[in-house]
Amino acid sequence: MPSLVSPRLLFLVGETIHLKKLSRGSSSALCQRSVRFFSRVDRDKNAPLTLANLGFNTEFETTTKNKRNKLENVKVNYPIEAPKSREKVATSNKSRVVRVKKTLEIESAPFAAKSFSELGLPPPLIERLEREGFNVPTDVQSAAIPTILKNHDAVIQSYTGSGKTLAYVLPILSEVGPLKNNYSSADKETGKKTEIEAVVVAPSRELAMQIVREVEKLLGPENKRVVQQLVGGANRSRQEEALKKNKPLIVVGTPGRIAEISAAGKLHTHGCRFLVLDEVDELLSFNFRQDIHRILEHVGRRSGADPQGQKNSLVRWADRRTIMVSATVPFSVVRAARSWACDPLLVQAKSVIPLESLAPGTVNLSSPTSSSNSDSNLQHQATVQSLPPALKHYYCVTRLQHKVDTLRRCVHALNAQSVIAFMNHTRQLKDAVFKLEARGMKAAELHGDLGKLGRSTILKKFKSGEVRVLVTNELAARGLDVPECDLVVNLDLPTDSIHYAHRAGRTGRLGRKGTVVTICEEREVFVVKKLQKQLGVPIPACDFTEGKLIVTDKEEKHAEALR
């Protein structure tokens, strides 16, 4: 096996998926939740599936075939009622406040809305959006905004660069802070005393800071204090002081820092109404498990609710809307959503369906011996939906010692101006940067060992075009939004199709053109072929000769000639 290929890739390929329905409401289910959620084995066993392919053979859909046909025509014609289980649970426990979800007439959900005003957003927010040049919502925003505004918990899945951030930020700003409906001066006064109303968690500082900037942009400079970042690597006591002084309504941060400040009693989130987990599949990974658990347990939990004593955990978070977001939604996310959210809906660009309608047993997560055919088929559907459709993919075979030079020739051949090159090991980055710079190509390395300041300076330089090639590791693979990025290069193979999808998604954002080139050794080609199969996109072989990208794949050449 090639040294650069993680065993995980091979492990995932041979797996199938098993969907087990959790018995909500029972105390044993609560225990199971914790065990499942924290299990390392569980994470490793999660083959990369999106929810879409999980949902396509469900009981729900077989009994509503006609309806599904309509769904394929960009809408669903059934209403989603307020979840009965939730109502029952809440009354049986004589809870003080019951979150009653409004019926969501999905028929009327404008899946391709022409303007933000169709989505029920308040006029001040629409004004801000227009000022910032956001005039037409993307498909996933059209589907997600009304869903969240109707008080539903949601899992939002849509391909990279499709605008998922605003899909959850806009409903929050509709209800929290100065741009919300009927915001009055009285609100301003009482607002000074309120607790945090929304917590957004992201796996990296860069992503958290990017989300903060997006929110700040909409709030305007006069309302900057409404949102605060709580990221690791920055001075914690300063962040705590700012919380005390500014009393933000929205905090955005990394799991460790949020959990840390919360545990110190400096972050009051019991009244929190929104909990967003961005890049949720990454947040559910082993590295973040304790912090995320703390956040899921505490955010929006009613004071007085005892985590051990409560029969049903959902009662404790009855007022919290839980929103989970990612381009890739493996089964760990389905399971987490079922455990931690209340009757969540799966929101995709052109459909909204109840997560519960995904029938148990449709697919099998746990059996490593099951058919690889159906499995790779599921993986295929999964990752296909996480990639921007306009992306072009190639691979180029070269020797290990020539990889960086091939990268340089690739950049010239495509005349790429803003390039992200991924490697797997931090210590290799410096060497690659050195080689590129020695050949006159402006490059810089970005990785987690750099300080917060160093990281943001390099990112700024890359965004401004001062740095042409950003050589990085997995740190930059998720969420990073540099619209100008026109080329992604894998100098090392990603560990699996999910990692490929997130890396690739740094280019071709929001309908822009983008190219992904994987530079590999001959012995690694079989992995590229596997990725191609799982991703459902052609990845032809290419070479860079005389300053041009030449497709060397005979079959692909033939296909191109026929096009």
In the list 147, 162, 376, 379, the residue contacting ligand ATP (rule: CB under 6 A) is 162
HEC string for 8-21: HHHHHHCCCCECCC
- Amino acid occupying residue 444: A
Residue 158 CB, nearest distance to ligand ATP (Å)? 6
Q: Is 483 in the site for ligand ATP (CB under 6 A)?
A: yes
Q: Which residues pair with 345 in a beta bridge?
A: 154, 354
Q: Which of positions 217-236 make contact with ligand ATP (CB under 6 A)?
A: none
The dihedral over CA atoms of 24, 28, 30, 33, expressed in degrees to the nearest 10, equals: -90
**Contact region with ligand ATP (CB under 6 A), list: 133-141, 294-302, 316-324, 522-530:** 133-141
Q: Is 110 in the site for ligand ATP (CB under 6 A)?
A: no
Total residues binding ligand ATP (CB under 6 A): 20
Provide the 10 A C-beta neighbour count for residue 43: 17
> Distance of CA 10 to CAs 47, 239, 557, Å?
11, 43, 29
Residue 122 CB, nearest distance to ligand ATP (Å)? 17
Which sign does the torsion angle of CA 374, 379, 380, 381 carry?
Answer: positive
In the list 83, 110, 161, 344, the residue contacting ligand ATP (rule: CB under 6 A) is 161
Q: 542-545 and 548-551: which strand pairing?
A: antiparallel
Nearest CA to 446 among 435, 436, 438, 460? Answer: 460
Nearer to ligand ATP, 243 or 475 (CB): 475
**Contact region with ligand ATP (CB under 6 A), list: 55-63, 130-138, 467-475, 544-552:** 130-138
Q: For residue 263, report the phi and psi dihedrals to the nearest 5 degrees.
A: -65, -30
Nearer to ligand ATP, 76 or 327 (CB): 327
> Is residue 228 within 8 Å of 246, Cβ to Cβ?
yes
Residue 133 CB, nearest distance to ligand ATP (Å)? 7
**Which residue has 């096996």 as its token pair?**
1
Nearer to ligand ATP, 274 or 317 (CB): 274
Q: Is 332 in the site for ligand ATP (CB under 6 A)?
A: no
In the list 68, 75, 164, 393, the residue contacting ligand ATP (rule: CB under 6 A) is 164
**Contact region with ligand ATP (CB under 6 A), list: 46-54, 88-96, 160-168, 512-520:** 160-168
Residue 44 CB, nearest distance to ligand ATP (Å)? 23
Helix (H) or strand (E) holding 332: helix 331-340
b/e per residue 502-519 (b: at least 16 CB within 10 A): bbbbbbbbeeeebbbbbb
Residue 462 CB, nearest distance to ligand ATP (Å)? 15
**Contact region with ligand ATP (CB under 6 A), list: 57-65, 330-338, 426-434, 477-485:** 477-485
Nearer to ligand ATP, 165 or 534 (CB): 165
**Which residue has 């040294």 as its token pair?**
3
Tokens encoding 531: 């990725």
Q: Is 58 in the site for ligand ATP (CB under 6 A)?
A: no
Provide the 10 A C-beta neighbour count for residue 287: 14
Nearer to ligand ATP, 31 or 136 (CB): 136
Q: Is 163 in the site for ligand ATP (CB under 6 A)?
A: yes
Q: Is 383 in the site for ligand ATP (CB under 6 A)?
A: no
Nearest CA to 208 among 179, 236, 228, 235? Answer: 228
b/e per residue 371-382 (b: at least 16 CB within 10 A): eeeebbebbbbb
Q: Is 137 in the site for ligand ATP (CB under 6 A)?
A: yes
Nearer to ligand ATP, 269 or 322 (CB): 322
Residue 401 CB, nearest distance to ligand ATP (Å)? 32
Q: Which residues pair with 354 in a beta bridge?
A: 345
Residue 134 CA to residue 442 CA, distance in Å, equals 33
Q: Which of positions 494-533 make contact with ligand ATP (CB under 6 A)?
A: 505, 509-510
Nearer to ligand ATP, 99 or 478 (CB): 478
Nearer to ligand ATP, 142 or 532 (CB): 142
Q: Is 50 in the site for ligand ATP (CB under 6 A)?
A: no
Residue 165 CB, nearest distance to ligand ATP (Å)? 3
Chain centroid to Cα 146, Å, comes to 19
In the list 49, 166, 314, 404, the residue contacting ligand ATP (rule: CB under 6 A) is 166
**Contact region with ligand ATP (CB under 6 A), list: 136-144, 251-259, 419-427, 543-551:** 136-144
Helix (H) or strand (E) holding 199: strand 198-201
Residue 483 CA to residue 480 CA, distance in Å, equals 9
Nearer to ligand ATP, 137 or 514 (CB): 137
Residue 372 CB, nearest distance to ligand ATP (Å)? 28
Helix (H) or strand (E) holding 237: helix 236-246
Nearer to ligand ATP, 89 or 391 (CB): 391
Number of separate helices (H) and strands (E) present in the chain: 25, 18
In the list 253, 330, 479, 540, the residue contacting ligand ATP (rule: CB under 6 A) is 479
Q: Which of positions 139-158 make contact with ligand ATP (CB under 6 A)?
A: 141, 158
Residue 540 CB, nearest distance to ligand ATP (Å)? 25
Q: Is 160 in the site for ligand ATP (CB under 6 A)?
A: yes
Residue 87 CA to residue 94 CA, distance in Å, equals 11
Chain centroid to Cα 327, Å, comes to 5
Residues 6+ apart with CB under 8 A from 102: 82, 150, 151
Q: Which residues bind ligand ATP (CB under 6 A)?
A: 134, 136-138, 141, 158, 160-166, 327, 479, 481, 483, 505, 509-510
